Chains A and B, each alone.
Chain A
Amino acid sequence: DIHMTQSPSTLSASVGDRVTITCRATENINKWLAWYQQKPGKVPSLLIYDASNLGDGVPSRFSGSGSGTEFTLTISSLQTDDFATYYCHKYGGDFGQGTKVEIK
């Protein structure tokens, strides 16, 4: 089975910071990866699909890159609304462990 490792598990940042979250697969998964945002008590929402495509209505400060085994989610300028937990997901398989983005 292919496993996904996400880092860091927690990230402290300030409004306006550039933030990067990494997700690694144990085998080549091409571009078959999505990123989700989840706020406490809420249903997760899609940010990025196919590793780099922005979901509907997702602000352009979010971007995804990578292919094969290494992927990144970048928030170019962190906003108050972005403090949440982020997950990567290999299609039809594992989620990453999650990255909680906290206020510094």
Chain B
Amino acid sequence: EVQLVESGGGLVKPGESLRLSCAASGLTLNDAWMNWVRQAPGKGLEWVGRIKSQSYGGTIEYAAPVKDRFTISRDHSKNTLFLQMNSLKTEDTAVYYCLTADYGKYWGQGTLVTVSS
């Protein structure tokens, strides 16, 4: 059974950084394509970025609103996916989900990031 467990959310001030983790079991992240998706309070789903499997070169793509501020990476030894978020803005406040790609057959439970002064 595949399980994805996000962690690392919390309350930060504008301009600060935060790193989210997504620990996987039942799935080898190095062999998987993975998405990060977020959902602001009361709003719709927003794609954040995607990392392809190592066999596809590990190519990473980002949505325009987060490009140059967010970085997706993974640690093969820990089977964990990361989302490094820098220069956070109030509009980054959302629940952040990791999920399989291209389509989200498996989703984590989400972790809440609140950016507020």
Interface-lining segment among B13-21, B69-77, B86-94, B97-105: B97-105
In this complex, how many residues of chain B approach chain A with their Cβ under 8 Å: the count is 20
> Chain A, interface size: which category?
20 to 34
Answer yes or no: A93 CB below 8 A from chain B CBs: yes
Residues of A within 8 A of B101 (CB): 91-92
Question: Assuming A43-B97, A43-B109, A43-B110, is B45 touching A91 (CB within 8 A)?
Answer: no
Residues of A within 8 A of B104 (CB): 34, 36, 44, 46, 89
Which residue of A43, A49, A89 is within 8 Å of B47 (Cβ)?
A89
CB neighbors of A among B35-84 (8 A): 35, 37, 44-47, 50, 61, 63-64
Answer yes or no: A1 CB below 8 A from chain B CBs: yes
Whether B61 and A89, one on each chain, are in contact in the complex, defined by CB atoms closer than 8 angstroms, is no
Question: Assuming A32-B102, A43-B97, is B107 touching A95 (CB within 8 A)?
Answer: no
Whether A1 and B105, one on each chain, are in contact in the complex, defined by CB atoms closer than 8 angstroms, is no
Whether B50 and A92, one on each chain, are in contact in the complex, defined by CB atoms closer than 8 angstroms, is yes
A-B pairs, top 5 by smallest CB distance, nearest first, are A91-B102, A34-B103, A49-B103, A98-B44, A95-B45
